[in-house]
Structure 1
Amino acid sequence: MGGFHFFLAILGLVLLPTLCTSQDTFTRSRATYYGSPDCYGTPTGACGYGEYGRTVNDGQVSAVARLYRNGTGCGGCYQVRCIYPPHCSNDGVNAVVTDYGEGDRTDFIFSPRAYAKLANNPASTEVLFAYGVVDIEFRRIPCRYSTPNLVFKVHEHSKFPEYLAIVVQYVAGRNDITAVEFWQEDCKQWSSMRRAYGAVWDTPTPPSGSIDLRFQVSGSAGNKWVQASNAIPADWKAGAAYTSAIQLN
């Protein structure tokens, strides 16, 4: 083996463990919480999830700023733990991103239910809420849901048959939805849907009949297209949710 190729082989052996574990590394930051009448999330979050954004993951959700990534970060899951040893639990909280929000040098603005999970006992919970802002460390983790299949929710602002907006729910694993397209049977081609905001994708020209969708998934395995045949029925209704046969991991 030539010297240059030997160097590349050794470099690959050195870098491979780093690349495989890079998402397991914790990053230091700060976190706070927002007010909520029932301690759950908000149904009006910037991701456009509606009631799903309030209750998903038992209401353990968060608003983010730099992790929002123009909506691509919606639905991402993070393990967050505070770093005050007398008051913080070892595991912290596993929270789902459902909103955009900026704080005082914070990466997470939690629902009260999520923020309370940072503490190791009820007395410490009171202490952390009194602090208001805490130092934390976080890392992205795979999302896991009791509902294993992807769900396509027709957004409430949709208007049959001339305007369709959808939200993809229960995106498991460490995956981001980066593009959505629908099949146009009359011209035999895939047409792009627009990211309206957050996790909401829309089109002013939905096809008639049942709708085939495909979406681009970006994850630890790279980018791939996943197709869902008859994802949306011909008589779709605003506010309705349709469960697919697709599971991501």
Structure 2
Amino acid sequence: MGFSLKQGCTLLCIFMVLPAAFCYTQTYPSKATYYTTPDGKGTPTGACGYGQYGRNINDGLVSAASSRLYRYGAGCGACYLVRCKDETLCNKEGVKVVITDNGEGPGTDFILTHNAYAGLAKPYAAKDLFARGVIDVDYERVSCGHGKLKIKILEQSNYHGYLAILPFNQGGANDILSIEVYEKASYKWIPMRRSYGTVFDLQNPPKGELKLRFLVSGQKWIESKKAIIPDYWKAGSTIDTDIQLP
């Protein structure tokens, strides 16, 4: 029987972010289990804050990650190739999943969606694999292969009073550790707060167009070539950027 996210997932509203601590060419041993939804895809209430995007991204092949991979939200959006170690039940290819939530079961680093867990099995062996509940796996960090970074201005934002943004589609092998907004009047970069998951916010944001820069793993700043957020921005809008995160 699969693990319940209600038992294992905790929303973490913590504002400090730990740097990534993984060599992305290395394979690690762990365990995985699964959770169920009506369509076998992800949940729109994941701790990363992705909403419906987190349910459907990668065709629903997503996973909740243990706290050490979730890393207070810095691990949101990361992709991992997960391979089951039971050669009698599992295929050799494994399945690539996107991290959209935080949760862990008994010794597991991954709580996969039903569809992702089924993707580990050999043909006609999924039923027996589900009966195991918890399985031994190897995993490695991989590139998601997405396009350029997108920014969603969340619905709770209030023009010139409060700005909350959700970066997504990052897809590289590096995590977003922090985000800063440039204020033209003071010639300074203002740090945003990691509210939860991969949601960043700022009270009383500067007026006018806003440039952003992103601190990624390895302490490297990635800056947009032009303003990302237009003046008179609207809550609920999604913005394409010119940024391709490494």
Q: TM bucket by the smaller chain?
A: 0.7 to 0.9
Query: Residue type matched to 1:225 in 2?
Result: W
Q: Given the alignment, which residue of 93, 110, 113 partners 1:111?
A: 113
Counterpart for residue 199 of structure 1: 198
Partner of 1:175: 174
SS at match of 1:247: coil
Task: Name 2:186's counterpart in structure 1.
Answer: 187
What are the within-5 Å matches in structure 2 for residues 86-235 of structure 1?
Answer: 86-121=88-123, 123-145=124-146, 148-218=147-217, 222-228=218-224, 229-235=226-232
Following TM superposition, by how much is the alpha carbon of 1:156 offset from its aligned partner in structure 2, in angstroms? 2.3
Does the 8 Å CA contact 2:222/2:245 hold for their aligned counterparts? no
Structure of greater relative contact order (alpha carbons < 8 Å, 6+ residues apart): 2
Amino acid at match of 1:178: L
Tell me whether 1:242 sits opposite 2:243 in the alignment.
no
- Unaligned regions of 5+ residues in structure 2, if any? 1-21
- What is the TM-score with the length of structure 2 in the denominator? 0.87
User: In the aligned structure 2, how far is the partner of 1:239 from the partner of 1:128?
Assistant: 41
Identity fraction in percent: 48
Greater Rg over alpha carbons, structure = 1
How many residues are treated as equivalent by the alignment? 223
Question: What TM-score, normalized to structure 1?
Answer: 0.86
C-alpha distance in 2, partners of 1:161/1:93? 43
Tell me: CA distance 1:82–1:40, structure 2 relative to 1, closer, same or farther (3 Å): same
CA-to-aligned-CA distance 1:13-59 (integer Å, 9 cap, x gap):
xxxxxxxx953332111111111011111111101111111111111
2:221 is aligned with what amino acid? W
Q: Which protein has the bigger helix share?
A: 1
Which blocks of at least 5 consecutive residues in structure 1 are unaligned?
1-20
Measure the CA separation in 2 of the matches of 1:130 and 1:232. Answer: 49
Aligned-pair CA distance for 1:150: 0.7
CA distance, structure 1, for counterparts of residue 232 and residue 127 of structure 2:
50
How many Å separate the matches in 2 of 1:161 and 1:176? 28
Distance 1:227 1:178 in 2: 14
Computed over aligned residues only, the root mean square deviation of the Cα atoms, in angstroms, reads 1.4
